[in-house]
């Protein structure tokens, strides 16, 4: 009896082995075909609304100022003046901070890094705009467009992060002045600047990854018209013939989460700064503390106001002109304002400039 049961169990086990031997090879091609079908479905969903000539790498025409009421020649000289003043102003500020020993504090170390970032932000967009204003064919290849997009976001996001780090610097300087130089030392400032760059580059690579799968359908000559003066994510998404709903949602959510950190740091820092200033016994001390934050608060208003206006308002086809104005503020006016805000409202920088000019006259 036991031998009969054992034989039946062994035969059942052999049947199961043979069944598994048949099923496993048959499951492998089924799985591969399922994965292939999913990829094909994802690709089809991207090109569903596209014409047969849609491409990943078209030629983009940047037509942001093509319908401007001002002549291209006047716009050329206006943006040329803005770019030259931005470069000269920020380079002068960097020179003052590097050469004057009285400006070798953590705040000015961060300010020097901010000036370098502002020069990069202007250089990414304005020279190309100047070339397109004097050209009848304001074209940019897909590779150059993507490179400009990456560079603009890398500099722009780093700018916002460094501004928030400077709020932390002001918090330590006012709320814990006795330990300011030991806490906000050169090593920590360099680490925070490097961390800002790393976070910015990772954030930018995520946005580039969302743009790479998209298709754009050009005209008869293969050109895609962008109603903007540089390659920004909103005009690129609007011009795409792919389904962009998931990309728009991902960019909005990821960008919103990224902005929460710097905004929270700025708000909390200035909340503590305000509470500390109100507890100061003398009016002169309160005025001095407020004056040290005035320049930084002005730059926070410039930068974060334009960023929120451009990138966190509901997308609308009727807001392209407003987007253009805010983008000009972000790419041109904010980098231009930085050296003037920190020089005209800062006695230390003005004194350093006078010493540098006086030394130049003495040497001559």
The token pair that represents 165 in the structure block: 């780090």
Q: At what angle do helices 245-278 and 283-311 cross, to 10 degrees?
A: 170
Cα–Cα distance, 1 to 341 (Å, whole number): 99
Q: In what order do the strands lie in the sheet with 223-226?
A: 139-141, 59-62, 223-226
Question: Hey, what's the torsion of the CAs at 279, 285, 291, 294, to 10 degrees?
Answer: 0
pLDDT tens track of the chain, all 364 residues?
A: 444 444 444 444 444 444 444 443 443 344 344 334 433 434 444 445 566 666 767 889 998 888 778 888 999 999 999 999 999 999 999 998 888 888 888 888 999 999 999 999 999 999 999 999 998 889 999 899 999 999 999 999 999 999 999 999 999 988 888 888 889 888 999 999 999 999 999 999 999 988 888 888 877 777 888 888 999 888 888 888 888 888 888 888 888 788 888 889 999 999 999 898 888 888 877 887 777 787 788 888 878 877 777 666 655 544 667 677 778 888 888 899 888 887 766 777 877 777 877 765 555 5
**How do residues 280-293 score in pLDDT, each as one tens digit?**
888 877 887 777 78
Neighbours of 252 (CB within 10 A): 14
**How do residues 225-276 score in pLDDT, each as one tens digit?**
888 899 988 888 888 888 888 888 888 888 878 888 888 999 999 999 989 8
Cα–Cα distance, 166 to 106 (Å, whole number): 9
Q: Most distant CA pair in the chain: distance in Å?
A: 118
11 and 201 in contact (C-beta within 8 Å)? no
Cβ partners under 8 Å of residue 363, min gap 6: none
129 and 77 in contact (C-beta within 8 Å)? no
Give the side-chain half-sphere CA count within 13 A for 313. 15
Question: Hey, what's the torsion of the CAs at 293, 201, 310, 121, to 10 degrees?
Answer: 70
* 140, β-bridge pairs: 60
In order of 3, 6, 20, 363, the CA distances from 15 in angstroms are 18, 14, 9, 100
**How do residues 62-102 score in pLDDT, each as one tens digit?**
988 887 788 889 999 999 999 999 999 999 999 988 888 88
pTM of the model: 0.79
In order of 48, 68, 280, the CA distances from 321 in angstroms are 29, 10, 47
């Amino acid at each position: 009896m036991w031998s009969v049961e054992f034989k039946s169990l062994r035969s059942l086990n052999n049947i199961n082995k043979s069944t598994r031997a048949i099923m496993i090879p048959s499951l492998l091609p089924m799985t591969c075909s399922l994965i292939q079908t999913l990829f094909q479905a994802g690709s089809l969903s991207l090109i569903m609304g596209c014409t047969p000539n849609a491409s990943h790498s078209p030629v983009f025409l940047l037509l942001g100022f093509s319908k401007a009421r001002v002549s291209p020649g006047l716009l050329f000289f206006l943006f040329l003046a803005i770019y030259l003043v931005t470069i000269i102003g920020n380079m002068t500020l960097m020179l003052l901070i590097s050469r004057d020993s009285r400006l070798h504090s953590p705040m000015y170390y961060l300010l020097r890094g901010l000036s370098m970032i502002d020069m990069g932000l202007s250089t990414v967009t304005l020279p190309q705009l100047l070339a397109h204003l004097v050209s009848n064919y304001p074209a940019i290849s897909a590779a150059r467009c993507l490179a400009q997009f990456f560079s603009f976001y890398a500099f722009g996001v780093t700018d916002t992060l460094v501004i928030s780090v400077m709020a932390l610097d002001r918090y330590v300087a006012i709320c814990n002045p006795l330990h300011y130089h030991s806490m906000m030392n050169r090593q920590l400032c360099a680490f925070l600047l490097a961390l800002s760059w790393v976070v910015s580059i990772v954030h930018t690579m995520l946005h580039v990854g969302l743009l790479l799968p998209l298709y754009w359908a050009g005209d008869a000559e293969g050109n895609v018209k962008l109603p903007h003066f540089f390659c920004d994510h909103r005009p690129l998404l609007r011009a795409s013939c792919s389904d962009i709903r998931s990309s728009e949602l991902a960019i909005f959510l990821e960008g919103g989460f990224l902005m929460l950190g710097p905004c929270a740091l700025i708000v909390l820092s200035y909340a503590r700064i305000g509470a500390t200033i109100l507890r100061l016994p003398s009016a002169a001390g309160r005025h001095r503390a407020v004056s040290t934050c005035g320049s930084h608060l002005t730059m926070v208003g410039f930068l974060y106001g334009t960023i929120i206006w451009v990138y966190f308002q509901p997308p609308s086809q009727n807001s392209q002109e407003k987007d253009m104005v805010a983008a000009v503020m972000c790419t041109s006016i904010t980098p231009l304002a930085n050296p003037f805000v920190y020089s005209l409202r800062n006695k230390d920088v003005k004194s350093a400039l006078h010493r540098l000019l006086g030394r130049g006259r003495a040497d001559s």
